[in-house]
Structure 1
Amino acid sequence: MNALYFKDLLDKTHRGVVAAVLRGGVPGGQLYGYDLVHALDEFGEPIRGKRKINEEQAAIIREIFKYYAEGRKLKHICDDLNRQGIDSPKGGKWASSSLVGSFVRQTGMLRQTLYDGFVTFNKLQYRKHPENGKRLSIVRPEKEWITVPIPELAILKEETFLKVQKALDERSSMHMQRKLIPAVMTDEERRDKSIRRSKEWRRNQAVGNKRANAVFGGKLYCGEHDQKITATYAKHYSCPVKGCANRNLHYDEIIKLVLDAIAELDEAKIIEHFESDEIQQVRAHHTREIERLTRYLEDLRASINKVIDALGPDARSSEIRAFFDDKAEQIQRTKLDIAHHKRELPGSTLPRKLENIIQRHQNLVASLRAWSRDPEAVACMRQIIERLTLCATSQNKSKAVCLANFDLQSIISTNKRP
């Protein structure tokens, strides 16, 4: 009788909270960014879940979302808040877990839909574990969630909130990949990953916080001896091979050749890159893998459903649990592989707004022609230059030419940034 009473009480309480949410109330206790409002309705009953925006905390929330949308790390955001002496929602120091929450349970401050003007309820349900009796939270199917708009409680702009949600999904997927994939990687995959990491590290070094130098520094090579051309004394550069024509070159004559070579990048060269056989093969590979893995994922889910339908309530033995655990691991790995190929696919696809990319590149070249050591222009240009080759003749140095090789993947990703 007690069990039936508590079950009936649970259902009534749940229905009451759902009714309050549908009337515009916000369930739960204190929520960062809002203050509870104590008010009575026309019948003298307290209004459940009424809130108002706390402007001081709302400004902090907007700052957190702005930093995360710009790509800053959670640890750096928390460190900045702690240095400013800003209390966390629970009164202590800020931690990354309070911001990002759980990807599986869709919790955390950065996923709070009320900041976007929508209250989401009925997302989780709590049950006891049948073996150890512990209380577990289980995510309900998304179709059972209750979402009610409350625009007057919105703290963020919709585009900012959506941008952060997309970044959360991408970064959470990448985190799960870094955690789970290494255990099943082949030696070839580990080698490719190491090469990509080294290339990314070198690219980041070029745009670090060091003092801006020449745009060609460390990237200029002699076309005859394939040796790096380095500074010898004030504004003079030389190939290390004695007798080479590329010796005792003044900065002014080098920068002119370099800027002429950089300026030759146009839409035709980018289109040629993306239409090359190598890039088309990469694009086709990712497309095929997405289709294949999607079919494989559907087959895995279908096989699990068949076992459940066949066994019904008898699916509790250790062998059956081991079978389900193995299938769950396969599904997780397949999802991660699909997410990986979906992230790699845009890198082999011709961008839509190609004219904007070329215009930005031309603006950088114009800035460097006006001042060849412009720190911002130098940093951006060094990121997209892969190699500069200086070809000169011993008879006439005035006929020397510079050839530029660009990291086109980098120039595309750089121009996609907000």
Structure 2
Amino acid sequence: MNRAAIYARFSTDLQNERSIDDQLALCRTYAEREGLNVVATFDDRARSGGSVMGRDGLLHLMDKAREHEFDVLVVEALDRLSRDMDLAGIHKRLSFLGIEIRAVHEGVVNTVLVGLRGLVGQLYREDNAHKVRRGQAGRVKKGLHAGGLTYGYSYVPGDPGKRLIAEDEAEIVRRIFREYVDGQTPRDIAHNLNRDSIPPPRGRAWNASTINGNAQRGTGLLQNELYVGRLIWNRVRMVKDPDSGKRVSRPNPKGEWRTVEVPDLAIISPELFEAARERKKARTITHPSHQRRPRHMLSGLLRCGACGAGMSSNGKDKSRRIRIRCSAATESGTCPDPKTFYLDTVETAVLDGLTTELRHPDVIAQYVQTYHEERRRLAADTNARRTRLERRLGELSREIERLINAIAKGHGDPAVLGPQSTTLNEERKCIVAELDQVPAATGVIALHPAVLARYEEQLNQLQIGLAKGIVAGDSESAEAMRDLIETVTVFRDPLRIGGIEVEIAGRLTALLGENAFPNGVKGVWGKVVAGEGLEPPTPGL
């Protein structure tokens, strides 16, 4: 009795959990009628058929197919597998593995049926998308909304697309525009709104970006022309990345925008809106990150210990020492402990801590131990893969030899056995090619001397930088530091020199873990792959 697997899916436009159970039941009935033994079921819930990405059930099915755990795949209909031309790719891969696809309503699937269903499915999706866009355009032309809810407005129950001014939020919109025109910055405005406990459009707090937005996309409260009774639609379009399956926003040319006057939805006067726009134009400059490299050793790496937000420069004192402060405190006033620190104090603490801790024998020993453990794990995975491929290669060689002998002795129909032998030989060639890419079985790989040499070189650069006294503009020393560090979290600690404690996160403990630092400088490392400065790439592992 042939082993069968069942696959079921329902899409995001049919949110019905029962659909999966119904499909599985239908497929089981079909399998029993056809004398198939169901050995596995796979499903994807609320997943579009327009892409194989993000469909764990289908990907798991393909993995099991490569392991030859079933002979027949049963689906209710081919569009459950895919509504796209990539249906042909799925069929081709399963056919190569000797697995037959059967659809309950269509029987055994062949190349012609796959091509037709894939083409029809893709055309259906594209046509449906055009109809949705056409429907949205018609709604916008009537002054109705085709998107989400904008701050300052409310839905009209039973009348989709219709909006009403929400007076409580509208008053906040007017306040934001007035304060901005009066000279306050978006940061100041956000800070004041959070201080007054005004709920934001989304998230937990107001931020400057909520008010400012993006000039190219026309986002942000200060750039939303709906507040002066002008509805603009089709600024952006959503396209699906064929590799990731994710929808990506792309701005449309201005000539494709659709503008409709909706004076009944105006919240502020055109004069106030234009005044805000003119002030914004006068203040717009290119972001500094697009103009120059990081100015300081820890630029972009600092985090606030009280709330986790980034930290940025907050001016200088009379002696020209640079202060740093939590960005959340500056942007929205939401940090629970908005303390200001001196940048040079933080830099000194980081350098002193690293150069002391990273040379500790326990750190180096832990590094070597972790290196060996990871190499053993990778070698075991590689050896297991090679063993599996070699086993399958042996099976194929024996099966091909059996078919050839049968043909030679006249024990079978060459017209049937010949193509079977050809199919098996194609799979054998693929496995031979795959084996060529898999390293030979190996034992534990010794620690390459260049690894520790490079590590020591990094520390030497840090010591040189410390001896010089790292200052702004010393880019070579700053880059050496940034090669080892991911983030530095700053905590207030009055009992320590300088009144701070730093928690350093970087590439070393990506391999070692938190126990790498024995003397108190903590390691909470976000990345799990070592950086280039600590471990050179090893081909094949």
TM-score by length of 2: 0.33
When you count helix as a share of all residues, which structure comes out higher? 1
- Give the structure with higher Rg (CA): 2
Which structure has more relative contact order (CA 8 Å, sep 6+)? It is 1
